[in-house]
């Protein structure tokens, strides 16, 4: 994080956006240094500046912020540089669905402006980039499961603690990804579907509520 006492910049990825009033927009991000944070893009919805009018989920780059004098006010988003938008992810419904799940899980397991959450920035960026580059659903599932395994471990949970119901093949696949430090697409058909369903079931059990972005095709069978 760089800048003086009132402004700073850091690499970040957009987790969500929502309107505020008639012309402003609240942008929620995961920063490499600050963890999850929210900032106001003033006049974003009426601005002719391209970066303001088109900022969207998954956008990644170096974001510049200004801290207002009031401690109760949100940060102000000033500028984005080195921006990446991952068009391959946005044009593939499977990649988009799995990417949206990664963003929601990140948001729900992260506390606002907790620097420890910044440790998830690089894994999330790598996952979004990999989803954008991949074209098939099994690969999207493997990338998403691997990211969720890393997130759960970093927040004190684990799918491999012996309490999670899964097939022996699924457990071996999870363990292989953890050991290798990378997503692996298994050769055994149907294993990625079991893996994503096991992951969703475990995460929703921890949260005590359903994931909002998970489409029906990804949900565990009931």
Q: How far is 31 from 118, CA to CA, in rounded Å?
A: 6
- Whether the predicted pLDDT of 118 surpasses 80: yes
Confidence at residue 216, expressed as pLDDT on a 0 to 100 scale: 61
Cα 140 to Cα 59, 210, 217, distances in angstroms: 19, 21, 13
Tell which residue, 209, 212, 15, has the closest CA to residue 120: 15
Confidence at residue 53, expressed as pLDDT on a 0 to 100 scale: 55
Q: For residues 146-163, give the mean pLDDT.
A: 87
Q: Is 148:105 a contact under the CB 8 Å cutoff?
A: yes
Length of the chain: 222
187 C-beta neighbours (distance < 10 Å), count: 6
H or E segment to which residue 178 belongs: helix 168-180
- Whether the predicted pLDDT of 207 surpasses 50: yes
Computed on alpha carbons and rounded to an integer, the radius of gyration of the chain in Å comes to 18
Tokens of 138: 């099994």
- Whether the predicted pLDDT of 10 surpasses 80: yes
Confidence at residue 3, expressed as pLDDT on a 0 to 100 scale: 44
156 C-beta neighbours (distance < 10 Å), count: 8
Q: How many CA atoms lie within 13 A of 106 on its CB side?
A: 36
Cα 27 to Cα 55, 95, 99, 115, 153, distances in angstroms: 8, 22, 17, 18, 27
User: Where are the alpha helices (H) located in 68-167, listed in sequence order?
Assistant: 87-90, 93-108, 121-133, 137-154
Tens digit of each residue's pLDDT (9 = 90 or more) over 32-54: 999 999 999 876 655 555 455 57
pLDDT level of residue 67 (50, 70, 90 thresholds): confident
Tokens of 80: 């984005």
Question: Of 15-29, 160-174, 190-204, where does the model show the most confidence?
Answer: 190-204
Confidence at residue 71, expressed as pLDDT on a 0 to 100 scale: 65
Q: For residues 143-154, give the mean pLDDT.
A: 94
Facing residues of 211 across strands? none
């Amino acid at each position: 994080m760089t800048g003086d006492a009132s402004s700073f910049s850091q690499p970040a990825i957009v987790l969500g956006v929502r309107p505020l009033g008639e012309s402003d927009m609240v942008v929620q991000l995961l920063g490499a240094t600050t963890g999850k944070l929210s900032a106001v893009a003033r006049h974003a919805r009426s601005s002719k500046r391209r970066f303001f009018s088109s900022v969207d989920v998954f956008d990644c780059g170096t974001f510049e912020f200004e801290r207002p004098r009031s401690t109760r006010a949100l940060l102000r988003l000033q500028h984005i540089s080195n921006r990446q938008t991952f068009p391959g992810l946005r044009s593939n419904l499977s990649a988009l669905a799995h990417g949206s799940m990664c963003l929601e899980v990140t948001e729900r397991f992260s506390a606002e402006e907790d620097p420890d959450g910044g440790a998830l920035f690089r894994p999330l960026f790598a996952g979004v980039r990999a989803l954008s580059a991949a074209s098939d659903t099994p690969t999207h599932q493997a990338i998403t499961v691997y990211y969720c395994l890393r997130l759960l471990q970093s927040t004190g949970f684990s799918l491999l603690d012996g309490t999670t119901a899964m097939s022996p093949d699924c457990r071996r696949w999870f363990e292989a990804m953890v050991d290798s430090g990378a997503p692996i697409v298994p050769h055994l058909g149907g294993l990625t579907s079991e893996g994503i369903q096991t992951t969703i079931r475990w995460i929703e059990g921890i949260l005590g509520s359903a994931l909002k972005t998970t489409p029906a095709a990804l949900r565990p069978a009931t």
